[in-house]
Every structure is written in C-alpha cells, then in structure tokens.
Amino acid sequence: MRAIITVVGKDTVGILAKVSTKCADYNVNVIEVTQSILQDLFCMIMLVDISKINTTFAQLSDDMAALGDSQGLKIHTMHEDIFNCMHHI
Amino acid sequence: MINTYDVLETIRMIDDECLDIRTITMGISLLDCIDSDINVACRKVYDKITEKAKNLVAVGEGIEKELGIPIINKRISVTPIAIVSAACKCSPVPFAKAMDEAAKAVGVNLIGGYSALVQKGFSAGDLDLINSIPEALACTERVCSSVNVGSTKTGINLDACAVMGRIVREAAEATVDKACFGAAKLVVFCNAVEDNPFMAGAFHGVGEPDCMINVGVSGPGVVRAALSKYPDANITEIADIIKKTAYKITRVGQLVGQLASKRLNVPFGIVDLSLAPTPAVGDSVAHILEEIGLEQCGTHGTTAALALLNDAVKKGGVMACSKIGGLSGAFIPVSEDAGMIDAAKSGTLCIEKLEAMTAVCSVGLDMICVPGDTTAETIAAIIADEAAIGMVNSKTTAVRIIPAIGKTVGEELDWGGLFGCGPVMPLKTPKPDKFISRGGQIPAPMQSLKN
C-alpha cells in the first residue's frame, strides 16, 4: 500500500526534515520525493510505502495535517489509489 | 511515478472546487420482514436495518480519511414500505418510526423507502401508506417518502396524482412549525428507478438483491472551474471538457463504491452519474450554465445548455464505472443551488422554464416552494404535467414542491444545511380542477410498445 503526502505552502527551512521524521516515527518508508518552488510557494510531493505502518492511516493523516497547521502549510495524506483512478484509464 | 500536475489537480478539486462523494447509500430489502402483526414486522425491520448497516458510517468515514475526499452522506434505502406493510392491514406509521429509530441507531442522516408504487393502480396497503405519509413525515426526523404515479409502460395514474396533490399539501401543513419540511422529504415520481442512491426519492426495488451499495457522485464546482479555463472554446469543445471532468469525478465514485462494498461485504450496485449541487458557494449547477455563456440561469438558452451538460456528464461517466444506474444526470433542485436561488429570486427562473429543463435533465421539479394557498388540484396538475414529460420521454421525472403554508410570492422558506432556502415561486391561477377530478388512467403512450 502506498500513499501520497503533499505539502503546499510558504517555503521555510526544514520542511522536508519534519515531514520525513514524522514518516519515520510511524515506520512509513519514503519512496520518492519531488519538490519545486512556484512563485514563493513550496510544493513537495512524497510517495510513501505504508504497508508496515505502525499506526492507523487516520492517525498519520491527522498528525500530518496538524504538523502542516503548526508550520502554516497544507499537508494532505491520501491513498495513491485516488490519483491512479482519476488520472489513468 | 508521481505526476505533480495530476496530484495537485486532484487536491485542488477537493479543496477549492467542492469535489465530494455525495452519498454512499445502502439498499436493504425488507421483504423477509413481512408479518401480519405490525409490532413483529416493525421489530424485524429495525433489527435488519441496524444489523446490515451497523458499520456503514464507520466504513464511510474510514474511506473518507484514507482517500482524503469528503463523503457527505451515508444513507439507507429500503423496500417500499407499502409492500412490507400490506399484510398488517392498518396504518403503517409504526414502520416509519422503526425506520427513523434504526437510522438514528446506525447514524445515517436520511432513510428512504416510505414508498408506494401505484403507477397502474392501488393494491392492498398502498392507500393506507399514502394517506399516512403526512403523519409519518411529521413524527419522524430522517424518513423520506416517495410515490410512483406513472411510467412509460403503464401510463399515468391520474387518481394517484389527485391523491398526491392533497398529500403534498397535508405534508406541508403538518410541519408548518418546521418550515413545511415534511413536503421536502416527499417525492412524486414517474418512471421511478429502483437503485437510486439520492434522497428523498431513494427506495430499494424488489428486483434488487438483499443488500447493495450504491454511490452518488457530485462535482458541479469542478465542472465550472474546468470550463472557466476555456473562455473561448466552442460548444463542442465545452462538451469534451465536461466529459473529461465527469470521467474523473466518476472514477472516484467507482473507487469509493468498490472499497465500501469490499469492507462491508455487500455487493456493489451502481454509480449514479450525477452533478448534485449544494447551496455552498462554488457548488452550483446554475453557475455551470452561466459559465457556458448565459447571463443568468433561466434565460433563453438554458434548456439547450442543460441538455448539453446532462449528456456530456453521462458520456464522460459511462466509461469511468462498471455499472451505472440511479438517476444519472444533472440535478436542478432550486433551493439547494446558490445560482438557482438567485435566478428564482430575480424572476429569471420561473416554473415553466424549470419544467422545460426537466425534459432534458436528470430529474424534475425539485425543491421548489410554491404559494401557501396553492390548491391540492393545482399540485396534482403539476404532478401530472411532470409525469407526462417522463412518460413520453421514457425518463425519470419527479415533483418535490413545498407549499409554503401561510406565505406567498416574495417570501421564502429556509431549512439550512444541504436543503438550503427557496423563494416562493408564482404559479398560474386558472383552475385545473375538472381535469384532475375526472380520475382514471392516462393510457401508456406509443413509446411503451417496444416489444
């Protein structure tokens, strides 16, 4: 099972470190990361493996959202299936 | 492989353009709950609903979290109660109470199926049920009711239209203290479908399996946003953009239905390819029509634009899911659509135009407030008109109008939430009474003779 974590917001130091530390805490393995800065807006997308996650998906998603709120960022954690189904035949 | 554009597009659709799954509806057959003792039957009904749907809300919320997409409603539809209650030979109101209690116990916000199918005449239990609808809707909170009065195959039961004119009025009168809300939970159909996941008209047809999951999608805001990027596209290109967007919306519905079906261990029925608006800003079907190029919904050109929209939604959705059903098309409930509310208030959108629109879109005269002094005969005639459109065009049509008791044109009814608020719209005043009082059956049209 894989999920996609997206982080969108104002660029600040240590965003990648904070999100990946949180992943490590929950035994979520980061597979791929892409990031870009669009007009001062930081945008990072992480593909992660959640098959060995040591908590519930809801907990991971809520914690990531809370981390985002505390940093002034929007963090979404969503199962990759929603992207695959929507954009591939 | 991550495609940044795709990922961000999905997130934008959900965050900014109100993309959601409108409903996961569990259809439950109550045929095995029939008993001549109404207390026994009601207990069986309560037990079966609470057993089958005990995990519905939790599973829905789990999927919502995992996919990151809101699933607004979790609902239940049941076998038309007139069939279940016929053997009891008494008022079926206790069934409505049992349904209401079961809905509260499992946490669903609406339960549909307090229904009767009388397109060709009344059988045992039908009139008992129909006459009890105003009381049933007034004494329950979550129960929805529907009555099918016509079909392409059978014609229109004009006696049933007459009765329903009276019942719609009584349902409003019995709930004056709740802004006549009873009538908002009552739908009169022609060509009712058996697997509709949308309220208030959902019921679980007798040809359906014991239990089934049906999904209704939404997404008017997404379609409008997609169109806004192409201000100079011609109308063929507009249709293509709508198709592509509808495909994406419907794929999510298919995924949610598959997951829900697997986790609840209940077969997956259909996806209803719908554009269902809400009164929220940015979630309006009227605004799509305005994006296509109408200054305001209801003006000349509205019917053509809606026909294109409705057709493109189906064409886009049909490839996105394995089984399609329900009402499938764009909905035009006046009180539940911010753009329609504005158009009705300004007088651009009138009931005659809405009637024309129902000939080319998914349902019918939906969530329309009419003056409180509208007679039962006039309501019956509105029902007959709408049923005729459905009968002749081999499509589902419905009437869900709310007589605003004690109010007149210029005032409004406000329910809040998904039901929204509706301005009272003017009707014609000459009487159709003689026509309605003739009674009998309008014969089935030539279109019925397909064999």
Which residues on chain A are in Cβ contact (under 8 Å) with B10? Answer: 78, 82-83, 86-87
Per residue in B261-291, pLDDT (tens digit) is: 999 999 999 999 889 898 888 899 999 999 9
Instruction: Using CB atoms within 10 Å of the CB of residue A31, give its burial: 0 to 12 exposed, 13 to 18 middle, 19+ buried.
Output: exposed
Determine how β-strand B143-151 pairs with β-strand B186-190: parallel
Q: Measuring CA to CA, which residue among B234, B212, B225, B222 is closest to residue B69?
A: B222
SS3 call for B395: coil
In B, minimum Cα distance to A61 occurs at B65
Please tell me the total count of domains within chain B.
1
Least Cα separation, residue A73 to chain B (angstroms): 14
Please tell me the total count of domains within chain A.
1
- Work out the mean pLDDT of chain B and round it to a whole number: 95
Which residues on chain A are in Cβ contact (under 8 Å) with B6? Answer: 83, 86-87
Whole-angstrom CA distances from A27 to A22, A33, A48, A51, A81 are: 9, 17, 10, 9, 20
When pLDDT is averaged across residues B413-419 and rounded to a whole number, the result is 90
DSSP string, A5-27: EEEEEE--TTHHHHHHHHHHHTT
pLDDT of residue B201: 94
Q: Quick one: pLDDT band at residue B451, thresholds 50, 70, 90? A: confident
Is residue B230 over pLDDT 70?
yes
Is residue B1 over pLDDT 70?
no
Cα(B283)–Cα(B305) distance, rounded to whole angstroms? 17
Distance, CA of B390 to chain centre? 15
Site of tokens 């998603």: A61
Domain range for B156 is 26-190
Per residue in B434-446, pLDDT (tens digit) is: 999 999 999 999 9
The answer to whether the Cβ–Cβ distance between B68 and A86 falls below 8 Å is no
Least Cα separation, residue B7 to chain A (angstroms): 6
Give me the helices (H) in B78-151, please.
81-85, 93-106, 126-139
Cα(B209)–Cα(B315) distance, rounded to whole angstroms? 27
Per residue in B45-100, pLDDT (tens digit) is: 999 999 999 999 999 999 999 999 999 999 999 999 999 999 999 999 999 999 99
- Asked, for residue B141, whether it belongs to a domain, the answer is yes
Query: What share of chain B has pLDDT > 90, as a percent?
Result: 91
The answer to whether the Cβ–Cβ distance between B6 and A83 falls below 8 Å is yes
Per residue in B331-355, pLDDT (tens digit) is: 999 999 999 999 999 999 999 999 9
Q: Up-side HSE of residue B402: CA atoms within 13 Å toward CB?
A: 32
The phi, psi pair for B78, rounded to 5°, reads -130, 165
Q: Measuring CA to CA, which residue among B339, B243, B336 is closest to residue B288?
A: B339
- Asked, for residue B34, whether it belongs to a domain, the answer is yes
pLDDT of residue B362: 79
Q: Are B336 and B278 in contact (CB under 8 A)?
A: yes
Site of tokens 């909905």: B331
B contact set with A (CB within 8 A) = 1-4, 6-11, 15, 62, 65-69, 248, 251-252, 254-255, 319
The answer to whether the Cβ–Cβ distance between B68 and A58 falls below 8 Å is no
Q: List, in order, residues 6 or more apart from B34 with CB less than 8 Å away.
A: B41, B83, B84, B86, B87
The answer to whether the Cβ–Cβ distance between A32 and B2 falls below 8 Å is yes
In B, minimum Cα distance to A83 occurs at B7
Instruction: Using CB atoms within 10 Å of the CB of residue B404, give its burial: 0 to 12 exposed, 13 to 18 middle, 19+ buried.
Output: buried
Which residues on chain A are in Cβ contact (under 8 Å) with B254? Answer: 85
Least Cα separation, residue B6 to chain A (angstroms): 7
Cis amide leading into B200 (omega within 30): yes
The answer to whether the Cβ–Cβ distance between A61 and B11 falls below 8 Å is no
- Asked, for residue B16, whether it belongs to a domain, the answer is no
Per residue in A21-65, pLDDT (tens digit) is: 999 999 999 999 998 887 778 889 999 999 999 999 999 999 999
Least Cα separation, residue B1 to chain A (angstroms): 8
Per residue in B166-181, pLDDT (tens digit) is: 999 999 999 999 999 9
Q: Are B19 and B221 in contact (CB under 8 A)?
A: yes
Nearest to A78 among B1, B6, B68 (CB): B68
Beta bridge partners of B274: B329
Domain range for A10 is 2-87
Which residues on chain A are in Cβ contact (under 8 Å) with B66? Answer: 57-58, 61, 78-79
Is residue B15 over pLDDT 80?
yes
What ipTM does this complex have? Answer: 0.91
When pLDDT is averaged across residues B209-217 and rounded to a whole number, the result is 95
And the tokens for B218?
Answer: 């939404």
In CATH, what number is assigned to the domain containing residue A20? 3.30.70.260
**Which residue has better confidence, B212 or A38?**
B212
The answer to whether the Cβ–Cβ distance between A82 and B255 falls below 8 Å is yes
In CATH, what number is assigned to the domain containing residue B73? 3.20.70.20
Per residue in B95-122, pLDDT (tens digit) is: 999 999 999 999 999 999 999 999 999 9
